[in-house]
Structure 1
Amino acid sequence: MKPLFVLLLSTAWTLSGAQHYYQGLMDYLENRLLAIEDRMVLWHEQSHRHHTEMNDLKKLAAEAVNTLKHHHSSLTKNLEGAAVQVDRLEREMDYVEGQNSPRACVNRADKVVEQGAWGLQESRGEAEEEAWEEISSTVSDCVEIMSGIRSVKILKRVGSPKGMWTRDPRSSKVYVFNGTSGDTIYQFNSVRDFSGSPGVESSKSIRLPSEWSGPGSAVYNGYLYYVKQEADADVQVVKYDLLTGLETETAMFPVENQAAVYDLNPETVADLAADDEGLWLLYAPSDSEPNISLAKMDAATLDIEQIWDTRCPRENAEAAFVVCGTVYVVYNTRLASRSRVQCVFDVNDMVISEEAPLLYFPRRYGAHASLKYNPEEKQLYGWDDGYQIIYRLTMKRKLLA
């Protein structure tokens, strides 16, 4: 009986301990579940707050975007209006310049030729008469001066940003110099053939015996005249027969290697030009010389016939051309804007300040790398940022001719 009582008592204690254990476990699990529920409630509150803040941010962003769109639309309209006003102002400027050209910086000899100076006083001495005869002698018999740009034709865009193209005044052939140096040029039968070609590769290529330097070459009466500049050597002018493919003449020229004739186109060491009177060369004797010099050359022998200081500054000059013995220097700015003829020099001192027009080229793409005059067509062949452009000129008679 006693062992049975002990067994029942032991079993009761065991059941009581198990009950306390499971009760403690249940209490622990319940506390954990309550903590999780509290954490979930907190997360829910934070999520709701974040969602509300995100919606508010979206509203603010949408309002900001709408405001920016409105400002962008207003700015676009203002810019379009400004562009229209600028175009109108440029047309008005072109009209005013065409009606009454401002004075250009024409530089002349120390003794100015005036209309009333033809009647010399008899009291002058023999020395004065000889000096007068020397001044009045003419280098060019041409009597025309450029008065304006009549029309502009953008032919195409081919090749490098800088280059040169020109037409032989005595034929219809067109010659293209792609880049600022090389030993190859490209020949087209006409301007129309060049305009319709896909590129220079489709033309006839001419391999020269030496490299040309700078976009300052000229084509005149079937001959190519180009500038040759080798390392540590003097600058040379080369005459090349386009028909026979032979180099016929070479002349050394007193130009320093580092002296560029145009400040905005340092690749142009010297610039050859052809007009009604023959062959000319624009150059800078040295890098320290501030002005552009002009030389009249014998097209047959390349001999120098006469040299002038044009007093046209090299600074901000981009190109130049010669018409009837008158040099027109074209200027621009470092940040390319409208090219303009701002300095004119006449070898005969027949162009007075009132005649010399301050002409603006229609604004196009950048700055001219070259401008070549064709005396038969009265046109300029320009190369502007890879675009080939034709400017048709209007001419008038010189006042004192």
Structure 2
Amino acid sequence: MSNAPQTLQAYRASLLYFRADPAFDERAHVWHEDGLLVVADGRIQAAGDYASLAPTLPTDALVHDYRGMLITPGFIDTHLHYPQTDMIASPAPGLLPWLDTYTFPTERRFDDPAHGRAVAEFFLDELLRCGTTTAMVYCTVHRASVDAFFEASEARDLRMVAGKVLMDRHCPDFLRDSADIGGRESAELIATWHKRERNLYAITPRFAPTSSDEQLRTAAELARAYPDTFIQTHVSENADECAWVRALFPSSRSYLHVYDQFGLMRPRAMFGHCIWLDEQDFARMADTGAAAAVCPTSNLFLGSGLFDFEKADGARTLLSLGTDVGAGTSFSMLQTMNEAYKVARLKGSYLPALRMFYLATLGAARSMQLEGVIGSLASGNEADFIVLDPKATPLMARRTAHCGTLDEMLFALALLGDDRAIRATYAAGRKVHERAA
């Protein structure tokens, strides 16, 4: 049962949301400088100019005054690991030694439901503090880790996607399942959690090297049996990892082709990183409706490489942004935009501020096949939105006082902002975080 307020409420602020990708449509965004957002029963009823909508409100409607601030859809993070919260900022010379030294020992503790619940509680509160209202989340191989996460998410009435990691080889014995056990437990978790309240399930092979052929076939069987579930995994993150995959799957044309051969490319499939993909790979992603989660803070931290926005856009691949905590170094999607901008520049392309905000909202919703549900302020969408404060810090206040355009203001938020810029976070119409004025 939703705990969203059942009475109509309105929010006065500047409003920004998207109808299309700004990279391909000059009229992609909707902007109301003095706007009004109307919410009831956990959904958006209307968004428009204050002068037009205010006279239509009932006389007893509660209007929250956020003038001077900006309301956007809640941010959507399409790739991160809640069990890695406690190991964020752990040093290692690369992805594979980082997994062995920190990740696997940390994930071992999640066979304890109490530990999983404590980490999930902190993790979700941190997301909300950073303005993220939906995320695609990796749990661990332990069934209890999934139950703990969804219980905490459901208590907050959040739209979250998560799944049990599948891993039956090239990993420590204490984290190894089997094709049979992993498939059976995943099916049981889907039956328990998928589409229960706002929870959604993701079939989650960790990455090709840690799943046998049998387990990858099992994951594909689950994907066919439950076509409205999600698939999430990693691909082409690190050069050493790519070389390992070539040795393990010599008949595959590319790393991505491994997943394609096993039937794991389809709509609602989210592939993390995608750094070393070629034009044929990106075209195949576009053809199948699969999507890429771009994780710049993680890729820079581990020295994995730079995502090629130009190559991906050439194929019209569905794109979104992921923090990839704990290799990623921040829960903040604003900080993730900051690093994505720099990655694009280093690869010779340019990400305008509007594109960055699109990728964190409607772009992510489209990548997840959830357009019309989340990621927009359009009427009928679930009322997940955030209030951004352009004056959250002295430096931001000084810079934004000199902004002459919407793009400049958004760019300052992305490059200078972090969790402090999130004045309030709303999920299903209910305030779930507020930063003191």
Please indicate, yes or no, whether the TM-score normalized by the shorter chain is above 0.5: no
TM-score normalised according to structure 1 size:
0.26
Structure with greater helix percent: 2
Structure with greater strand percent: 1
TM-score normalised according to structure 2 size:
0.25
- Higher Rg of the two aligned structures: 1
